[in-house]
């Protein structure tokens, strides 16, 4: 398990929302944390590399800028689970991937630059894995502001 110091914890806790919208947002955050911008960027890189954070960036309504996303699922044979997870996760269109206790045991979010990209990604996953992708496009959108504090 990765050890997080007080600055790592503040960075994660305080900046899960409300990241500054200004010309130099990283410099502003670094100043508020009492560190330099270069150190902040090194910390973010380390947290991402160690998979403490799986992503760091804005959450956008991708449809407003011409993109698309969908929830998808696979029924993966247990003996192939790790192999298929690696194949699915290798695609840049895969935003999140979760294991579930269900016949559809792998659920993932696809995010693409265009609506057509969803179908293309699904075809690619099916060709790569030999498994049928179940597509569950969004019917309605809900805003759930979930923050996960890490302070001890």
pLDDT in tens, 72-126: 999 999 999 999 999 999 999 998 899 999 999 999 999 999 999 999 999 999 9
Does the global pTM surpass 0.75? no
**Is there a contact between 72 and 133 (Cβ–Cβ < 8 Å)?**
yes
**Is there a contact between 86 and 94 (Cβ–Cβ < 8 Å)?**
no
Q: Report in angstroms the alpha-carbon separations of 13 from 34, 45, 51, 136.
A: 15, 17, 16, 31
Sheet architecture: strand order including 68-74: 94-99, 106-112, 68-74, 134-136
């Amino acid at each position: 398990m990765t050890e997080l110091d007080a600055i790592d914890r503040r960075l994660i806790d305080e900046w899960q929302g409300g990241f500054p919208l200004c010309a130099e947002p990283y410099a502003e955050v670094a100043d508020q944390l009492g560190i330099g911008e270069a150190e902040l960027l090194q910390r973010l890189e380390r947290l991402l590399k160690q998979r403490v954070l799986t992503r760091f960036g804005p959450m956008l309504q991708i449809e407003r800028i011409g993109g698309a996303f969908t929830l998808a699922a696979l029924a993966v044979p247990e003996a192939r689970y790790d192999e298929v997870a690696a194949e699915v996760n290798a695609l840049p269109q895969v935003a999140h991937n979760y294991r579930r206790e269900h016949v559809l045991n792998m659920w993932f979010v696809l995010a693409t630059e265009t609506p057509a990209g969803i179908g293309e990604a699904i075809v690619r996953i099916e060709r790569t894995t030999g498994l049928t992708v179940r597509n569950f496009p969004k019917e309605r959108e809900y805003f759930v502001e979930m923050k996960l504090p890490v302070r001890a």
